[in-house]
Amino acid sequence: MTGDPLFLDGVDLADIGIMAAKVLIAFTFLLVATMFMVWFERKLISDMQNRIGPNVAGPWGLLQTFADGVKFFFKEDLRPENADPLVFRLAPYIAAVTAFLSFAVVPIGGSFGGGSSGTVTIFGRETYLQVADPPIGILLLLAMSSIAVYGVMLAGWASGSKYPLIGSVRASAQAISYEAALGMATVVVVILAGTLSTHGIVAAQSGGITRWFVVSSGIVPFIVFLIAATAELNRPPFDLVEAEQELVGGFHTEYSSIRFALFFLAEFMNVITMSAIMVTLFFGGPAGPILFGMTWFWPTIWFLLKVLAFLFVFVWFRATLPRLRYDQLMHLGWKLLIPLILFWLMFISLKELRAAHDWNWFATYGAAFVALAIGTSLLLAGLRAGDRAFQDELEEA
């Protein structure tokens, strides 16, 4: 993987122009997509609840988000007296900027099958259909989703108010817990693809559905990733961060006006980005049949359709699942997802190692089975001891 071919022969003005256009398009696309995501969510959730949903602003209420945005701009911007002025102002931008940055490494188009390496030709220059393809693309994604937690945490901390503080403490604990599972599910994909670049990962999945990592890694990493991503996004059923019944609005209780809008934007943008990442990691990115004409056009359509499917799934989650209790959340994260994905990771690594070094099948899997059995029993013993201690604590209380 050599990175974007646009810069291979030096950088001239046209390259910079193409780059700027890509940035602008990605930025606009993400903003518009977020706008419609909010609409889509509201409409779909009301469909699932036998309601109508927004239908006044624009056709089918399409402009509702736009109207809300305009309203936010003109509302009074309040800051509590106890709030830390600098951090209080900074936090929404951290949330919004990281949400934008993560999307930069997602390939949103380009044909990968049949020898072509996912490039498109714009003005006679070959380039990837993604804003940037750093060799450490996946790490960038993980880093951004970690930094986004700072936005939430600092917002709660700087508000100088108790409910936001509790909300943000919950958020950070939750994000740390689920980032482990999320990261390890990503590592499975990285091991299979042999590269950290998102473009490389998509290229490794080209050539049919069986090559998609959702299939070739077994379905488990995808499911773990989906659950962990839902938790990472603070979406229902893991939206304890902003549990209205307990915490008023959660970390953004004290925010109003455009600063609240930034959080709102970041939240929905992260949903889109996370869906795009799942498509990239597990569903072959823009891969799909090219039906007729316009070969550069179809991969993007497939990509968008796949992302839309995930957006639907997230809304579906919200409509269906009740919110978890906090100890259930921690239980699911630490005692179920992390051990599961840990074992799966070891299994996949072993499989790849065996294939690479041509080890004996029986010896490899026999040893693995023994090791896994020991590990599982130790883990279960530990979990049981932990549960007992927890029960004792409950009885004492």
Strand partners, 271: none
C-alpha 232: how far from its chain's center? 7
> How would DSSP label each residue in 318-339?
HHHPPPPPHHHHHIIIIIIIHH
- Which residue among 14, 25, 32, 52 contacts other proteins (CB under 8 A)? 52
Find the binding residues for other proteins in span 30-49 (CB under 8 A).
Answer: 47-49
Q: How far is the CB of 275 from other proteins (least distance, A)?
A: 18
Q: Read off the amino acid at residue 290.
A: I
CA distances from 182 to 152, 169, 171, 243 (A): 19, 20, 15, 23
- The helix or strand, by DSSP H or E, that contains position 279, with its residue range, turns out to be helix 257-282
Q: Does 51 participate in binding other proteins (rule CB under 8 A)?
A: yes
180 binds other proteins (CB under 8 A): no
Longest dimension (CA), the chain: 74
Q: Is there binding between residue 136 and other proteins (CB under 8 A)?
A: no
Nearer to other proteins, 40 or 263 (CB): 40
**Should residue 319 be labelled a site residue for other proteins when binding is judged by CB under 8 A?**
yes
Q: What are phi and psi of 121, to 5 degrees?
A: -105, 115
Of these, 28, 320, 328, 360, which contacts other proteins (CB under 8 A)? Answer: 320
CA angle 44, 47, 49 (to 5 degrees): 115
Question: In whole angstroms, how close is the CB of 325 to other proteins at the nearest point?
Answer: 16
**Residue 190 Cβ, how far from other proteins at the closest point, in Å?**
30
Residue 257 class from Cβ within 10 Å (0-12 exposed, 13-18 middle, 19+ buried)?
middle
Q: Does position 59 bind other proteins by CB under 8 A?
A: no
Q: How far is the CB of 227 from other proteins (least distance, A)?
A: 12
Q: Which residue type occupies 394?
A: L
Question: Segment near other proteins (CB under 8 A), from 109-117, 177-185, 312-320, 336-344?
Answer: 312-320
Among 7, 73, 93, 316, binds other proteins (CB under 8 A): 316
Name which position in 10, 50, 292, 356 contacts other proteins (CB under 8 A): 50
Nearer Cβ to other proteins, position 1 or 48? 48
H-helix or E-strand spanning residue 122:
strand 119-122
**Number of residues lying near other proteins (CB under 8 A):** 11
Where do contacts with other proteins occur on this chain (CB under 8 A)? 47-52, 55, 316, 319-321
